[in-house]
């Protein structure tokens, strides 16, 4: 029997077949979970949906529930969870695997972080960090018997990674938000944890200036002497979403070939 047999959960958001969310989903579905998915409706929502559905089909769960959601819009969050309640009744887990910052301010050029305008900062923090609070709150009524919430973060939230800039500040906020949510929701048997993934070639990662150097750096410096595979994030996600981690909350688990542990 799968580690997630009988569990239902929501995974937000898949952009394409490289998305970490898709790899988490494949592992969750393989372990017996029933999942619903979110996608960001871009300028052409039908086209966005078709692209995401195609990625889901490639991963073998093309038939599962998929619904649009822009986390910057309260009314879309409400619509998403109303629809999820109609479809699933209750859920056991929520996966937050989404982020955004204006790529013009994710550059390695000297001074690039210092020039971050107020609106760029606010948008990055709103979409990438506040959304965890908003989504978890919206999910509460679907989790009457407790549950597990996870969010994806990166080392750039703790240490300076040149080019990560405003997204690093957003990840620091996301990680702190996860700890405060874990404390608030512990009495309701809801656990909240983060996974700090090493660099993975996804649409979002490619927006970060100098990302290619990071892949080479990880390979040279990390104890495992290689970069991670998104599937490895999926496997750790299964652990955090399953009862195997029933005593774990407010934690950050690194899936980064051990890169964060090395000083030199």
Of residues 154, 180, 239, 254, which has the active-site annotation?
A: 154
Asked if residue 138 binds ligand NAD (CB under 6 A), the reply is no
Q: Which of 4, 8, 10, 19 binds ligand NAD (CB under 6 A)?
A: 19
Q: Does 154 bind ligand NAD (CB under 6 A)?
A: yes
- The footprint of ligand NAD on residues 204-223 (CB under 6 A) is 204-205
Q: Of 13, 34, 136, 245, which lies in the binding site for ligand NAD, with binding defined by CB under 6 A?
A: 13
Is residue 15 within the footprint of ligand NAD (CB under 6 A)? yes
Q: Is 236 in the site for ligand NAD (CB under 6 A)?
A: no
Residue 135 in the binding site for ligand NAD (CB under 6 A):
no
- 97 binding ligand NAD? (CB under 6 A): yes
Question: What is the rounded distance in angstroms from the CA atom of residue 132 to the CA atom of residue 20?
Answer: 16
User: Of the two residues 212 and 243, which places its CB atom closer to ligand NAD in the complex?
Assistant: 212
**Known catalytic membership, residue 67:** no
Q: Does 257 bind ligand NAD (CB under 6 A)?
A: no
With a CB cutoff of 8 Å and minimum separation 6, the contacts of 48 are: 39, 40, 41, 42, 68
Stretch that binds ligand NAD, among 2-10, 27-35, 198-206, 238-246 (CB under 6 A): 198-206
Residue 172 in the binding site for ligand NAD (CB under 6 A)? no
Tokens of 28: 């969750």
Q: Which DSSP string corresponds to 119-173?
A: HHHHHHHIIIIIHHHHHHHHHGGG-TT-EEEEEEE-GGGTS--TTTHHHHHHHHH
Residue in 52, 23, 26, 260 with CA at minimum distance from that of residue 161? 260
Q: Which two tokens stand for residue 71?
A: 């986390």
Q: Which two tokens stand for residue 40?
A: 């960001």
130 is known as an active-site residue? no
- b/e string for 42-70 if b means 16 or more Cβ within 10 A? eeeeeebbebbbebbeebebeebbbbbbb
How far apart CA 39 and CA 46 sit, in angstroms, is: 11
14 touches ligand NAD (CB under 6 A): yes
Strands (E) located in the chain: 8-12, 34-39, 65-68, 93-96, 147-153, 190-197, 252-255
Rounded distance between C-alpha atoms, residue 11 and residue 153, angstroms? 15
Any contact of residue 173 with ligand NAD (CB under 6 A)? no
Is 127 a binding residue for ligand NAD by CB under 6 A? The answer is: yes
Min separation Cβ 138 and ligand NAD, Å:
13
Contact (CB, 8 A) for 201 and 159? no
* Closest CB 23 distance from ligand NAD, rounded Å: 8
Interface pick for ligand NAD out of 176, 203, 216, 262 (rule CB under 6 A): 203
Instruction: Name the minimum Å distance from CB 206 to ligand NAD.
Output: 8
Task: Give the active site residues.
Answer: 154, 164
The binding site for ligand NAD (CB under 6 A) comprises: 13-15, 18-21, 40, 69-72, 97-100, 127, 152-154, 197, 199-200, 202-205
């Amino acid at each position: 029997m799968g580690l997630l047999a009988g569990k239902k959960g929501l995974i937000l958001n898949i952009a394409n077949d490289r998305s970490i969310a898709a790899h988490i989903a494949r592992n969750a579905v393989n372990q017996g979970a029933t999942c619903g998915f979110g996608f960001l409706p871009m300028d052409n929502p039908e086209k966005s949906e078709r692209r995401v559905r195609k990625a889901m089909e490639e991963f073998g769960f093309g038939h599962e529930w998929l619904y649009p959601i822009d986390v910057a819009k309260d009314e879309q969050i409400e619509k998403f969870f109303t629809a999820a309640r109609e479809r699933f009744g209750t859920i056991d887990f929520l996966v937050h695997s989404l982020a955004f910052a204006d790529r013009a301010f994710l550059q390695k050029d000297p001074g690039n972080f210092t020039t971050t305008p107020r609106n760029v900062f606010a948008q990055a923090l709103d979409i990438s960090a506040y959304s965890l609070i908003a989504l978890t709150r919206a999910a509460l009524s679907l989790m009457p018997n407790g549950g597990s919430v996870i969010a994806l973060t990166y080392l750039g939230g703790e240490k300076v990674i040149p080019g990560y800039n405003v997204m690093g500040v957003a990840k620091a906020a996301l990680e702190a938000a996860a700890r405060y949510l874990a404390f608030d929701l512990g009495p309701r048997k809801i656990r909240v944890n983060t996974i700090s993934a090493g660099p993975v070639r996804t649409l979002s990662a490619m927006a970060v200036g100098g990302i290619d150097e990071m892949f080479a750096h990880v390979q040279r410096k990390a104890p495992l002497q290689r970069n991670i595979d998104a599937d490895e994030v999926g496997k750790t996600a299964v652990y955090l979403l399953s009862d195997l981690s029933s005593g774990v909350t407010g934690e950050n688990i690194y899936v980064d070939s051990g890169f964060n542990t090395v000083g030199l």
